[in-house]
């Protein structure tokens, strides 16, 4: 018996054209392993037949595989000195989206401090702070000013990963000496989880206005309990993920529960909206009256996981839907059965299966979209998984 990682056959494009999918494919490689039993043609439902597996492995061996060094070299070439953010490709403008992707990949490869100098890490933090509006707490994605709750999540997630990954010492000479924990009886009673979270959040508060940022997110909440990209924007499962994730990172998820205890239905409105995204075939959609799509196996289920309401949907039917979207010949997962697979949907399909504890997969963190073992190595321990 042996274990091998399976990915869909990727188009033969240059490495420098693949950065937009780098985080997805790297995370897939970190959480997805498939058992292959040489004495049995029956494989777990996440792959095709043994002969197809062997043939694809043989073909993949003939293709060039990017080493860690090549990946790191390319990502660092994408750093934009002008904006102090990472871009989607060398020579492009820096953006919050790609900055978070770069940091996530460093966390995956366990090389945050190796790849980011203290000077560059601080420049990134300063750049992120400049993208926050002092008026309403929103974040723009880059210097051109587009505002979206996606960018709020990117900012808070990037800062949290940097605070944990770089370590407190990186930020002490910037007036953060008071963050050292120890002294009072209450502080000594905190466990490591609370200490690490408190330190990271303290660092984040020195860089951006966390409270105002969360206030903006709450302004994007709608009457149906969901969230849009901006105030008044239509509720969408993807936007709900970023809003719930951002609030959780900032330890302000309790803002969702403002009603009195006897108004439980009001407090659960968001969870109900998410649960109602499941359609008859078992898959999930992103908005009412839309077709199911494998990607929402992540956007919806991760939010329900953060709210501790995964059991509100039929997990067995969802799992069956994802597995039906596989390509048994070339590998990978598509948006719907019989469509063409791609890295994007393969990641979200595997991530959704991981949230449902599918056999052979490592656990994925529903907030940071990274393997649990990866975030634990930088000190992130929480109860949402």
- What confidence tier does 57 reach under pLDDT thresholds 50, 70, 90? low
Cβ atoms of 309 and 300 closer than 8 Å? no
Which tens digits make up the pLDDT trace of 115-129? 999 999 999 999 999
Q: In this predicted structure, which of 27-31, 65-69, 147-151, 350-354 has the lowest mean pLDDT?
A: 27-31
Cβ atoms of 385 and 363 closer than 8 Å? yes
State the average pLDDT over residues 39-62. Answer: 49
- What confidence tier does 244 reach under pLDDT thresholds 50, 70, 90? very high
Query: In this model, does residue 4 exceed pLDDT 80?
Result: no
Looking at the DSSP assignment, which residues form a beta bridge with residue 227? 221
Instruction: State the virtual CA torsion across 367, 372, 375, 376 in degrees, nearest 10.
Output: 130
Stated pTM of the model: 0.83
Residue 49 makes CB contacts below 8 A (sequence gap 6+) with 41, 43, 328
CA distances from 211 to 202, 214, 217 (A): 12, 5, 10
- What pLDDT is recorded for position 3? 32
Which tens digits make up the pLDDT trace of 210-234? 999 999 999 999 999 999 999 999 9
Which tens digits make up the pLDDT trace of 185-211? 444 445 566 777 788 999 999 999 999
CA distances from 261 to 264, 267, 307, 326, 358 (A): 6, 9, 16, 44, 35
Query: In this model, does residue 22 exceed pLDDT 90?
Result: no
Give CA–CA dist 123/149, Å, rounded: 23
Q: In this predicted structure, which of 38-52, 234-248, 291-305, 315-329 has the lowest mean pLDDT?
A: 38-52
Give CA–CA dist 352/44, Å, rounded: 16
- What confidence tier does 30 reach under pLDDT thresholds 50, 70, 90? low
- What confidence tier does 268 reach under pLDDT thresholds 50, 70, 90? very high
State the average pLDDT over residues 3-12. Answer: 37
Query: How buried is residue 185: exposed, middle or buried, by Cβ count under 10 Å (0-12/13-18/19+)?
Result: exposed
Among all chains, which residue has been given the structure tokens 């992130």? 380
- What pLDDT is recorded for position 192? 62
DSSP states of 300-347: HHHHHHHTT-GGGS-HHHHHHHHHHTB-TTT--B-SSTTSPPBHHHHH
CA–centroid distance for 252 within its chain: 18
Cβ atoms of 247 and 227 closer than 8 Å? no
Give CA–CA dist 109/200, Å, rounded: 21
- What pLDDT is recorded for position 64? 58
Query: In this model, does residue 237 exceed pLDDT 80?
Result: yes
Which stretches of the chain are DSSP H helices? 22-31, 50-62, 68-77, 96-108, 112-115, 118-130, 149-166, 185-189, 192-207, 210-219, 237-249, 264-267, 269-275, 296-306, 315-324, 343-355, 372-376
Mean pLDDT of the chain: 83
- What pLDDT is recorded for position 48? 47
Q: Which residue has the higher pLDDT, 362 or 13?
A: 362
- What confidence tier does 171 reach under pLDDT thresholds 50, 70, 90? confident
- What pLDDT is recorded for position 371? 96
Characterize the bridge pairing of strands 79-80 and 34-36.
Answer: unpaired
- What pLDDT is recorded for position 265? 74
Query: In this model, does residue 273 exceed pLDDT 60?
Result: yes
Query: In this model, does residue 89 exceed pLDDT 80?
Result: yes
User: Which of 106, 245, 102, 112 shows the shortest CA–CA distance to 167?
Assistant: 112
Q: In this predicted structure, which of 64-73, 156-165, 296-305, 307-316 has the lowest mean pLDDT?
A: 64-73
Q: Which residue has the higher pLDDT, 142 or 170?
A: 142
Which tens digits make up the pLDDT trace of 350-368? 999 999 999 999 999 999 9
Query: In this model, does residue 5 exceed pLDDT 60?
Result: no
CB atoms within 10 A of CB 314: 13
């Amino acid at each position: 018996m042996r274990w091998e990682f399976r990915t869909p056959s990727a188009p033969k494009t240059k490495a420098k054209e693949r950065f937009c999918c780098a985080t997805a494919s790297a995370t897939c490689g970190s959480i997805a392993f498939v058992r292959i039993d040489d004495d049995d043609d029956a494989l777990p439902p996440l792959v095709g037949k043994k002969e197809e597996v062997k043939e694809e492995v043989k073909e993949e061996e003939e293709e060039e595989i990017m080493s860690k060094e090549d990946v790191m070299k390319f990502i660092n070439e994408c750093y934009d000195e002008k904006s102090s953010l990472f871009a989607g490709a060398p020579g492009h403008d820096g953006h919050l989206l790609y900055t978070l992707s770069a940091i996530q990949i460093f966390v995956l490869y366990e090389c945050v401090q190796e790849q980011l100098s203290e000077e560059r890490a601080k420049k990134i933090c300063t750049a992120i702070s400049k993208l926050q509006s002092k008026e309403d707490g929103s974040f723009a994605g880059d210097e051109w000013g587009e505002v979206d709750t996606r960018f709020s999540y990117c900012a808070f997630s990037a800062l949290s990963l940097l605070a944990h990954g770089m370590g407190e010492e990186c930020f002490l000479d910037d007036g953060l000496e008071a963050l050292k924990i120890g002294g009072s009886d209450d502080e000594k009673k905190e466990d490591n989880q609370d200490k690490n979270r408190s330190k990271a959040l303290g660092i984040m508060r020195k860089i951006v206005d966390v409270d105002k940022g969360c206030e903006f997110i709450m302004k994007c909440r709608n009457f149906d309990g969901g969230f849009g990209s901006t105030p008044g924007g239509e509720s969408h499962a993807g936007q709900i993920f970023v809003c719930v994730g951002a609030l959780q990172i900032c330890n302000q998820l309790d803002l969702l529960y403002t009603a009195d205890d006897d108004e439980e239905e009001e407090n659960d409105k968001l969870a109900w909206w998410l649960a109602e995204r499941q359609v008859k075939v078992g898959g999930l959609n992103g908005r009412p009256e839309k077709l199911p799509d494998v990607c929402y196996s992540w956007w919806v289920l991760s939010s329900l996981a953060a709210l501790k309401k995964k059991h509100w949907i039929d997990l067995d039917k969802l799992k069956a839907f994802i597995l039906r979207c596989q390509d048994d010949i070339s590998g990978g997962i598509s948006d719907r059965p019989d469509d063409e697979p791609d890295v994007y949907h393969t990641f979200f399909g595997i991530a959704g299966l991981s949230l449902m504890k599918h056999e052979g997969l490592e656990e994925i963190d529903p907030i940071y979209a990274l393997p649990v073992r990866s975030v634990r190595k930088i000190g992130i321990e929480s109860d949402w998984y």
